Structure 1
């Protein structure tokens, strides 16, 4: 265990309120008694009031004045915090500045050795973020605020390839980050139904004076899952679909907006899905054919036969083509 992790463990042992001998601490951390006293000196230098009392009833303890102790993190926890910040920043999280400020406060409480260790541990991971319009941060904040306040907003929304934006009033229920894009899950007043809107396509947003009540325990992620379930062709018996391929190819297969909800198991070389037969027959042959020989369908036989028949039909279509 790293030095600072051992010191943190020793601090939590002492915060129990009991007096401990150096030998007890050493046994608990599997270090030497000499190292225990070195750690005590380091903690005292950090402002932690550790005292060592000699005598029959003596021992090592922390003074009662140490009530409002700052948060302490081990090296892996610190790395996880910094890496999480990178992912949040890459996703376009609307509170990255506040998150960065919180991390600065944590880092300011570290010793120089801890800072160097943290820098070396986090230097090997970066998140490449897609280009996003600067306005999306403000939109995400406004939508989240409207969802918290239960306030209807008026948006101007431009669909892909549309020449102009379309205005409508919506009740924001929540936000979801899906496939590198942010979505607002809302109740649309025009359609009188729950609808999703890609936030980067919202041209303008204005709050209104109208109030609404969000459905109890509403979950944006659950809504997305339910939508995929509703697009199944039939209820009833499900069938296992096994697809083999290279890791990158399987990533593309499993990342399909609809198919990914039926993924049940994944390894580097194989993905398994559970889907009803009508939906499989309607959507998968055309989709999986786009991967050509980069994938191999292990089962079911019915899906393999459908793709074989489709491939044969296409080959026949071009067999006598002299153009």
Structure 2
């Protein structure tokens, strides 16, 4: 445990520069006294670590000192090489950079871990998008990523779902998020979320902008997702599901089934499922066919019944003979 903590101190000082004992203690979740003892141990081991007292003091490594990654354990080495996703890195224009970084890390590893890291890359491949999602071209992604990284203001032409469908926006980009194979830009004013594949044109403007000090991209995205799902749930439907129908539910419907499901004497389950819209619910429930019965609301039940009758009417007579082939 202590060896791991000593390596963490080295890497923190190597990547961040000067840090106070209090900052190191907070990062490592130990006491300041423990940091003092660890610093003495590192110095005694010959590590060129020195500390300055005073308000602007702290610990710092001698300029130019670098440590090799010999402190990685097998699990950490596996996680490091498993975390590099080549597809998104290439989309950001960082494919060659990722490959070069992995080569440098591999060279710094001891032989046993180097062999294990290579085995990880040979046996595991991460492909984030779903099976049925078409890969959308994102020609402006590298330019957006550059603006995020360097704090450049953007003016862009954007396509949205409501009228007017094409709009111009001046944005201050805070960060990029990759969700299920699709890139999203989080930008002010707002901030709001924009799909990068819906950007039609882009221009970088002069001047920068400050990102609010308390802004946390991961926390914002989590809150955005929660709000998105809450806005999707506009009503409830009381349904009966056969065992086969219940097994086919996914996502929020499956969670609602687990929370509200009540077994019935005939083997079916009565449950309350969230409804995004009558149109969406009609499509979803019709796909389940006779494995689901909607009990309420009455309007949704009537809509499903009317659609089922219209569908059945198409099959009451003989099928039309196909016409002659076009010359």
SS in 2 for 1:73: coil
Contact map agreement 2:278 2:300 (CA 8 A) in 1: no
Identify which range, 129-138 or 99-108, moves more after superposition.
129-138
Aligned to 1:200: 197
Following the alignment from structure 1 to structure 2, what is the Cα–Cα distance between the partners of residues 211 and 240?
A: 54
1:141 to 2:140 alignment: no
Q: Deviations over 1:72-119 (max 9, x none)?
A: 222222111111103664784554544433322221022333322322
Q: Tell me: CA distance 1:243–1:319, structure 2 relative to 1, closer, same or farther (3 Å).
A: closer
1:253-272 residue CA offsets vs partner (Å, 9 max, x unmatched): 32xxxx4xx8759xxxx866
Rounded to whole Å, the distance in 1 between the matches of 2:273 and 2:108 is 58
* Aligned residue in 2 for 1:312: 305
In structure 1, C-alpha distance between the alignment counterparts of 2:106 and 2:246, rounded to whole Å: 37
Alignment-derived partner of residue 113 in structure 2: 114
Query: Aligned equivalents of 1:309 and 1:109: distance in 2?
Result: 68
**Unpaired runs of at least 5, structure 1:** 1-8, 16-61
Q: How does 1:49-198 map to 2 (within 5 A)?
A: 64-66=45-47, 69-71=67-69, 72-86=71-85, 89=88, 92=91, 95-128=94-127, 131=135, 133=137, 135-145=139-149, 149=151, 151-158=152-159, 166-187=167-188, 195-198=192-195
- 1:155 CA drift (Å): 0.9
Do the aligned partners of 1:156 and 1:204 also contact (CA within 8 Å) in 2?
Answer: yes
- Counterpart in the other structure of 1:43: none
Structure 2: stretches of 5+ with no match in the other structure:
8-42, 49-65, 130-134, 262-270, 318-327
Deviation at 1:172, TM superposition (A): 2.3
Measure, in 2, the Cα distance between the counterparts of 1:144 and 1:243. 50
Specify the alignment match of 1:288 in structure 2: 284
Shift of 1:154: 0.5
Inter-partner Cα distance in structure 1 for 2:242 and 2:208? 49
| Contact map agreement 1:239 1:276 (CA 8 A) in 2 | yes
CA displacement at 1:222 relative to structure 2: 2.0
Partners of 1:242 and 1:143 in 2: CA distance = 50
Whole-Å separation in 1 of the counterparts to 2:166 and 2:199: 8
Please give the TM-score of this superposition, normalised by the length of structure 2. 0.53
SS in 2 for 1:157: strand
CA RMSD of aligned residues (A): 5.1
- Superimposed CA distance per residue, residues 160-190 of structure 1 (whole angstroms, 9 cap, x where no aligned partner): 8x9x9653322323322223111113346xx
**Inter-CA distance 80–282: structure 2 relative to 1 (3 Å threshold):** same
C-alpha change, 1:14 and 1:217, in structure 2 (3 Å) is: closer
TM-score (normalised: structure 1) = 0.54
* Distance in 2 separating the partners of 1:97 and 1:246: 47
SS at match of 2:46: coil
Q: Tell me how far apart the structure 1 counterparts of residues 119 and 247 of structure 2 sit (CA, whole Å).
A: 29
Aligned length, in residue pairs: 244
Q: Give the distance between the partners of 1:179 and 1:207, measured in 2 at CA.
A: 28
